Chains A and B, each alone.
Chain A
Amino acid sequence: MKGMFSVKGISKSFGGLLAVNDVTFHLESGELSSIIGPNGAGKTTLFNLLTGDLKPEAGEILFKDKDITGLPPHRICRMGIGRSFQRTNIFPRLSVFDNVQVAVMSWERKCRNIFLKARNMNKKETEEILDSVGLGDKKGMTAGLLAHGDQRRLEIGIALGSYPELLLLDEPTAGMSPEESNKTVELIQRLAREKDLTLLFIEHDMSVVFGISEKIRVMHLGSIIAEGRLEEIRANDEVQRIYLAEER
């Protein structure tokens, strides 16, 4: 059976430095998997390539059998791929409600409209998403004033506003305390079940990775050097070497 999301031979270099080197992998529908690797391995660059922020120099990306290679981000979003960011990327001066609402309105193609009142548009859908990420009671607050953990959850909420089938999460627990991280992991697991999502994330925090992913891919210097289930990766010598070297 063909995978839902297929990346074949993707490469990207910056001024001679090969940041992503001939990466190939497939995601099955409903799969929860992660990409790990030391800093500079090319993980975020890979995400940027998958979401259209960068154009690959070689290779192709297929989503549900459609070639999405080289499409701009706003088109990729419409195809059902959503993304959250490593550094919190919200709309600080807008309210929490507005943050998610704009994503929903955009998805429903209502944004070219200059005649209707936007205030209560898609209120139900927006509130539903806010509730599902646990921010329902904070919908009136200014997003920039939220605590860090809440902002990360809003990140995810905004991504959910585009009703993605595949969600790419870039270090969702970045900067969080252990309890917050656990809560976020639970949240993500619940969301994946409730909304039938396929998840791919970049993570540094091993407990998150091992807690959530069924499949793990390890990246190093732009290539995927190992792929497999948790036990396989743990037992992989090369992976151990890379991580031990990093800890030094």
Chain B
Amino acid sequence: MMDPELDRNHTIKTIGGLVAVLLVFLILPLFLPVGWLSLVNEMIILALAACGLNLMLGYAGMVSFGPAGLYAVGAYTTALILYYTEIPFGLALIAGPVSAAIASVIIGWFCVRLTHVYFALLTLAFAQIIHTIVFEWYGFTKGDDGIVGIRVPAFLDSITNYYYFSLIIVCICLALMWMIVNSPFGKILQALRENPERTKFIGIHVRLYQLSAFVISSFFLGAAGSLFCGFNKNVFPNYAHWMKSTEMLVVCLLGGVYSFLGPVVGSIIYILLDKVISSFTQYWPLVLGLVVLALLLFLKGGIVGFISEKITASRESRGKGERNV
């Protein structure tokens, strides 16, 4: 597996694959009707949110029930800036993830002192507080009415243009995440997931690294929120609702939490399933529930996990099986 020749081939194939996928995304607007293009736009923004969550979830092993809270912080920051001030769109957009990161420093500081179910419940509680604040503070956030008609610069006002804009931002964010995940910091996060006890004893201040993971994750969640705010041109309190949080968790599970692109695959499939199934029946939740059950019981690594197992199995049987345990 550490054979450099095989490695190089593998890398070339992977890069080739990625370029091909990117090209597909680039030319989609040429033949997709705007309704579908809008859907793909939603997919890639959800993919960004899910990948952000997965930094915490799949890499650092921290199960959060409240990612939607930080997502909404990003969305509402951008929306409120654009609604109340004349600050240009670009700055408002950047303010989203930044404020999500700042909020997450405080929230995370409390949360990382707990583990497992208590950590999850505390993140949920904070997300619900955010939801309540946004819902009740009618004077500032317009409560349940939400903020609608958010101003977007003219050149981004068309579906095609915002699609390309989203694609660029998401690709930049994914590239950043890829860099982080493959850095020494990223490896330590994985060690934390595998064995936080042991990680202490190799000289790592566990809470500090977990807080960092929380903050970085929240930055990208906030970015997704801001991006979606511009996409939908509105924000509502349910952006912070725990149903949205669960949606993100399901997307990660669907694609596979132990791979980088798993959440991307998951979000594509999730939104496709949602739209397709919803057009047939109003019982989309039932179908989703059954799908999640099937995944949990039969496809443990998510779809990407399943596929990569098959690939590894076929590669090993093709002639590299010399090592014995």
User: Do A and B touch each other in the complex, judged by CB within 8 A?
Assistant: yes
Does A177 count as interface, using CB distance less than 8 angstroms? Answer: no
Q: Is the CB of A118 within 8 A of B186?
A: yes
Q: Is the CB of A140 within 8 A of B2?
A: yes
Bound-state Cα–Cα, A147 to B324, Å: 10
Contact among A106, A113, A114, A141 for B202, CB-based, below 8 A = A106
Does B310 count as interface, using CB distance less than 8 angstroms? Answer: no
Which partner residue on chain A sits nearest B194 by CB separation? A91
Contact among A51, A83, A106, A114 for B180, CB-based, below 8 A = A114
Q: Is the CB of B198 within 8 A of A106?
A: no
Q: Is the CB of B184 within 8 A of A105?
A: yes
Bound-state Cα–Cα, A159 to B185, Å: 19
Q: Is the CB of B179 within 8 A of A115?
A: yes
Q: Nearest Cβ distance between residue B263 and chain A, in whole angstroms?
A: 18
Bound-state Cα–Cα, A145 to B1, Å: 15
Q: Is the CB of B184 within 8 A of A90?
A: no
Q: Is the CB of A77 within 8 A of B325?
A: no
Bound-state Cα–Cα, A138 to B183, Å: 23
Q: Nearest Cβ distance between residue A93 and chain B, in whole angstroms?
A: 6
Give chain B residues whose Cβ lies under 8 Å from the Cβ of A92: 194-195
A–B Cβ pairs within 8 angstroms, 12 of them: A73-B200, A74-B201, A77-B202, A95-B1, A101-B187, A102-B191, A106-B188, A106-B203, A106-B204, A114-B183, A121-B184, A138-B323
Q: Is the CB of A90 within 8 A of B183?
A: no
Mark contacts of B47-68 with chain A using CB atoms, 8 A cut-off: 1 yes-contact digit, 0 otherwise: 0000000000000000000000
Which partner residue on chain A sits nearest B200 by CB separation? A73
A69-93, CB < 8 A from B:
72-74, 77-78, 82-83, 85, 89-93
Known contacts A102-B188, A102-B202; A117 and B195 CB within 8 A of each other: no
Q: Is the interface of A mostly helix, strand, loop or mixed?
A: loop
A123-160, CB < 8 A from B:
138-141, 145-147, 158-159
Q: Is the CB of A118 within 8 A of B182?
A: yes
Give chain A residues whose Cβ lies under 8 Å from the Cβ of B194: 90-94
Q: Is the CB of A116 within 8 A of B201?
A: no
Does B273 count as interface, using CB distance less than 8 angstroms? Answer: no
Q: Is the CB of A78 within 8 A of B203?
A: yes
Does B190 count as interface, using CB distance less than 8 angstroms? Answer: yes
Q: Given A98-B191, A111-B184, list of 9 further CB < 8 A pairs?
A: A53-B200, A85-B198, A94-B190, A102-B191, A107-B203, A119-B182, A121-B184, A139-B2, A146-B325
What 4 pairs between A and B have smallest CB-CB spacing?
A: A91-B194, A140-B1, A77-B203, A103-B202
Give chain A residues whose Cβ lies under 8 Å from the Cβ of B258: 93
Which partner residue on chain B sits nearest A138 by CB separation? B323
Bound-state Cα–Cα, A106 to B191, Å: 11
Q: Is the CB of A91 within 8 A of B184?
A: no
Q: Nearest Cβ distance between residue B56 and chain A, in whole angstroms?
A: 15
